[in-house]
């Protein structure tokens, strides 16, 4: 049952991330695979980003980023990863990071 355990671990991580995103984005929720229009949906929807979540022993951040880049509906890509016994990491492009921080600075 290692495949099922792995899928369950990933689904649980997506639910956890949706819960954490709801602190800032009340509409955040776990995306479920594909939309009715047969297009991809992010792992966490209801945010301004295309969120890709990976919870694995040693997540491949670059592969997850490429996957999200190919699937995004135009939203900036945000990859959230958690390796076993490690902190949660967030990865985004430098361009998106600068744009995001600039917007925050304008608001303060």
C-beta of residue 42 within 8 angstroms of C-beta of residue 51 = yes
Claim: this prediction has a pTM higher than 0.85 = yes
* pLDDT at residue 40 in the model: 84
Residue 42: which CATH number?
3.40.1350
Number of structural domains the chain divides into? 1
Higher-confidence residue of 75 and 6: namely 75
The pLDDT tens digits for 82-105 are 999 999 999 999 999 999 999 989
Please give the residue range of the domain that contains residue 27. Answer: 2-107
What pLDDT digit, counting tens, does each position of 12-66 carry? 999 999 999 999 999 999 998 655 455 689 999 999 999 999 999 999 999 999 9
Residue 5 has pLDDT above 70, yes or no: yes
Rg of the chain over Cα atoms, rounded to whole angstroms, equals 14
């Amino acid at each position: 049952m290692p495949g099922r355990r792995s899928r369950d671990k990933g689904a649980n991580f997506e639910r956890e991330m949706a819960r954490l995103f709801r602190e800032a984005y009340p509409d955040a929720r776990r995306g479920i695979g594909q939309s009715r229009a047969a297009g991809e949906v992010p792992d966490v929807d209801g945010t301004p980003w295309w969120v890709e979540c990976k919870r694995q022993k040693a997540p491949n951040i670059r592969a997850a980023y490429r996957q999200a880049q190919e699937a995004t509906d135009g939203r900036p890509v945000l990859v959230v990863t958690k390796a076993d016994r490690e902190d949660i990491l967030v990865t985004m492009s430098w361009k998106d990071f600068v744009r995001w921080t600039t917007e925050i600075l304008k608001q303060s």
